[in-house]
Amino acid sequence: MQDIEPSYQWENIYNASHDSKSPFYGRKYSQTTYENDIYGYYIHPLWDYIDSETLYCKILFTDY
């Protein structure tokens, strides 16, 4: 599971940590520190925690 990464193609279009309306605004992402896990397997640090033990997400696009 740690090998599954979010797509990087969207980063030049939208970044949730830079969007003041995003729930992930201001979040600092680490490319090297694996903190979150699902069933004992660490997942890529770019996935966002959403108050679930087994569900993580990545906002790829938003249209206000």
Token digits of residue 53 = 């033990």
pTM > 0.75: yes or no? no
Cα within 13 Å of Cα(60), Cβ side:
7
Domain locations in the chain?
1-64
Instruction: Let me know: does 60 contact 45? Beta carbons within 8 Å.
Output: no
Dist. CA 43–CA 8, nearest whole Å: 16
Q: How far is CA 63 from CA 2, 3, 4, 59, in A?
A: 30, 29, 26, 11
Per-residue pLDDT, 2 = 59
Quick one: pLDDT band at residue 62, thresholds 50, 70, 90? confident
Dist. CA 45–CA 24, nearest whole Å: 13
Q: For residue range 2-60, what is the model confidence (pLDDT) as tens digits?
A: 567 777 777 788 888 999 999 999 999 888 888 888 888 888 888 888 988 889 888 87
